[in-house]
Chain A
Amino acid sequence: MTITEPRSKYKNEETKSEALADLQFLLYIVKNIALFSAPILVNGFKKIQAIFGNEEFSTIDTTVNNANNTFKEVFDLEEFPVNLNPQIMYKKKEI
């Protein structure tokens, strides 16, 4: 499992390009899981929009009924640009 982990693959010149393809595919998965769960995890979705920095993705407002056609368009996107700004989605609570 450690060998197939993107970080390990990236360190090996032979598997470096595969690591990058894995990560690009994972971004695609994150995008679609975010859209799929957006009506329930509203705050999390907004965070992912901010993290991705994709203009089209950021226009989606799932709090509006029948938001807009952008939802389907972005869901169907097989390749999309990102301008990543990673941040913590859910902070630990000391209660």
Chain B
Amino acid sequence: MLMSVDYRLPDTEFVTGFFTVDGHKMSKSLGNVIDPVQMVDDYDRDAVIFNLLYDVPIGADGDFSVERLANLYESMLIGGRGNLVNRVTSLCKKYGITSGKFNKQKREVFKENNESKLVHFFHEGRDGSKIEDQYLKKADIK
């Protein structure tokens, strides 16, 4: 299509891996095909997107399991994010707080306590390998 309209073809293409289910390729004969619409109905759109982004490494195949989705939903969304928002806003409401406010001193404390967790969350894959390394290795840049 690109050639037919005289567009330059890409020099490099980033191609993601396949989704496997409990370590097996999805197939109709095995009857292990995942219905994403059903997953979104059962859990939440946020949970499905988060699971795929969190667990599937770039370039390699990524495994999907309903059990893992349920665990991530419970631990990261309900227990992590949901819990934080609920606790903070409930206490603020209870104590009559009517504004949020930045505080430089508190930011330093927050950074000190959470930096390692944030670095792990954003820069390391499930197997501990660096996400940037996976990218660069696949693109033969590194």
Contact = CB atoms under 8 A, between A and B. Distances in A.
Given A24-B97, A82-B92, A93 B42 contact: yes
A23 B93 CA distance: 10
Given A7-B91, A48-B85, A89-B85, A79 B100 contact: yes
A21 interface: yes
Contact of A43 (B42, B45, B92): B45
Interface in A3-59: 6-7, 10, 19-31, 33-34, 37, 40-44, 47-48, 51-52
B88 A26 contact: yes
Given A41-B50, A78-B101, A90-B77, A23 B95 contact: yes
A88 B86 contact: yes
A81 B99 contact: yes
B49 A31 contact: no
B7 interface: no
A48 to B, nearest CB: 6
Contact of A86 (B86, B102, B106): B86
B128 to A, nearest CB: 22
Choose among A79, A88, A91, A93 the residue with the greatest number of B CB atoms under 10 Å from its CB.
A93
A82 B44 contact: no
A69 B90 CA distance: 30
A43 B46 contact: yes
Interface string B63-106: 00000001001100110011011101111110101111111001
B100 A44 contact: no
A86 B77 CA distance: 16
Contact of A79 (B50, B90, B102): B102
30 contacts: A6-B91, A20-B97, A21-B103, A23-B92, A24-B103, A25-B100, A25-B107, A26-B88, A28-B100, A28-B101, A30-B85, A30-B100, A33-B81, A34-B85, A40-B50, A41-B46, A41-B49, A43-B44, A51-B85, A52-B89, A81-B98, A82-B98, A82-B99, A83-B98, A84-B92, A84-B93, A88-B82, A90-B46, A90-B73, A90-B81
Interface of B: 42-47, 49-50, 53, 70, 73-74, 77-78, 81-82, 84-86, 88-93, 95, 97-103, 106-107, 110
